[in-house]
A = this chain, B = another copy of it.
Amino acid sequence: MLLPPASLLAIAPLLEISPHQLEVAETLIQVGRFVVIFLVARAIAELLVRLQLPTILGELVAGVLIGVSGLHLIVPPDTQAQLAAGVTSLVGSLAGIAPEAVSEVYNETFPSLQAVSQLGLFALLFLTGLESELDELVAVGLQASTVAVAGVVLPFAMGTAGLYFLFHVPLIPAVFAGAAMTATSIGITASVFGELKWLKRKEGQIVIGAAVLDDIIGIVILAVVVAIVGGGAFSLGPVLKLCLAAVAFVAVALVLSRTAAPSFDWVVDRLKAPGDVAVASFLVLTVCCFAAQAIGLEAALGAFAAGLILSASKHTHDIDAAVKPLVALFATVFFVLIGTGLDLSVLNPLDPANREGLVVAAFLLAVSIAGKVAAGWSYLSKEPTNRLVVGLGMMPRGEVGLIFLGLGSQAGILTPALEAAILLMVIGTTFLAPILLRLVIPREPGETTTVVADQPA
C-alpha cells in the first residue's frame, strides 16, 4: 500500500526488482507474518484452555513451533536462520521476484514486526499496572510484603550465586537469569485460586497482595538490570543510583495514583472528541515512558508506572476495555517472537555437549521452585494458614519471566543454553503451579466442574 520506506527502497536495485514488486513482496510478508503468528498461537491457546493450562504458554509454544526450532516460518534476522523454502517460493512467485530477494525483504522488514511487539509489551505492562489492586496489597500489608520480599530475594540470591559460583556463568548473565526468577505471574495464580474458591481466604489474599508487590519489585529490577547491561559495566555507584531512581520513580507513580488520577478524570470528563479515554490514556503512557527513559530508566517501567497512576481513575473500566484488544493482539506478537528465537536443540539430551546446559536448566527450575515455596514460611500469622499453598501460589513466573527472557535474548547477553534454561524455568513453574495447587487444595464436595468448563460454549 504505502511505498516502502527509503531504507528498503535502497535495496531494490541491488536485488534487481522494481519498487512495485518490492511493495507487493513487503505487504505479503508483513501481513503473512501476522496470519501465521495468530493462526498458530490461537490454535494452541484454545487447546491449552481446554486442558485448563495457562494460555500464555501457548503463545510461547506457538513461537517455538513456527520459529528457528520448528518450521522456520518466523525467523528473527539476528538468529541467522534460513526462512522456510516454501515461504520464499510462495511469496516470490506471487510478487514475481527471486526467492533470495524474498529473504532479503523479509529481514529488512522485520524491525516493524518488532516495533509492533514492543507496543504489545508496553500495553501489557500498562495493563498490569492498571489492574494492580493496591488496596488489596494494603489490606494484607505486612504479611504480603514479607512473602513478596522473601520470594524475590531467595530465588534471586540462590540463582545468581549458583550460576556464578557453581557453573561459572559471567556476572551479568548470572544476575539477569537470577532476576528473571523474581516476579510471580499474578494472572495464573489468581485464576487457579478463583477456580478453587480460595481467593477470599487468608492464603489467597496474601498471595495476591504479594504478587502485586512482586510485580512492582520485578519490574524495578528489570529496569535496573537492563540499564546495567546497556552500560556494559557493573560498578556499584551507577547501580545504586539506578536503583534509587527506579524506586523513586515507582514511589512517585504510587503517590500520583492517589493525587493525579482525579485530575486525569477531570480532564477526561471535559473531552468531547471521540475516542477520548483511549487517547488520553495513551498520552499518559507515552509521557511516562518518555520520562522514565529521560532519567536513564527503561521505558517499560514508565508504561507500568502509567498503569499504576491510572489505576485509581474512575475510568479504569473504559481504559481497560480500550487496552485489552491491544494486549490480545500485540502482546501475543511479543510472546510468540520470544519463542521463535529460541534454539531448543541445546536441550537435546542425546548430545553430550548439552549435558551442562541441561544441568543448569534443572538447577534454575529447582531454585525457582524452592525459593518461592520457602517464601511461604516467611510471614508471621496468628491464625493457622496453609503455608504450602501460599508458597505454591507464588510459583508461576509467566509473563514477567518471559519479558526478561525476551529482553535478555534480544540484548544478546544470554547464551543459547541459558536462554533455554530460563525458558524451561518459566514453563516448568507455570505448568506445575496450577497442577500442584489442585493437588494440595482439597476440592470442596459438591463442586463438579471448574470455572472454565462452566462457561457457556
Contact = CB atoms under 8 A, between A and B. Distances in A.
Contact of A299 (B31, B280, B407): B31
A279 B329 contact: yes
A240 interface: no
Interface in A265-299: 269-276, 278-280, 282-283, 286-287, 289-290, 293-294, 296, 298-299
Contact of A457 (B30, B118, B270, B411): B270
A166 interface: no
A244 interface: no
A403 to B, nearest CB: 10
A305 B65 CA distance: 31
A116 interface: yes
A46 interface: yes
A439 B111 CA distance: 51
A300 interface: yes
Given A7-B7, A412-B3, A293 B24 contact: yes
Interface string A35-48: 10011001001101
Q: How many copies does the complex hold?
A: 2
A328 B38 contact: no
A258 interface: no
Nearest to A22: B230
Interface in A71-100: 77-78, 94
Given A5-B111, A31-B289, A321-B321, A42 B457 contact: no
Given A77-B6, A116-B115, A286-B35, A273 B55 contact: yes
B411 A3 contact: yes
A226 B6 CA distance: 19
Nearest to A91: B294
A329 B230 contact: no
Contacts of A2: 114, 118, 406-407, 410-411
B272 A452 contact: yes
B273 A46 contact: yes
A268 to B, nearest CB: 11
Contact of A325 (B275, B406, B457): B275
Interface in A378-424: 406-407, 410-412
Interface in A90-139: 94, 108, 110-112, 114-116, 118-119, 121
Nearest to A43: B273
In the A-B complex, list the 4 residue pairs whose CB atoms are closest, starting with the nearest: A275-B328, A5-B111, A20-B230, A322-B325
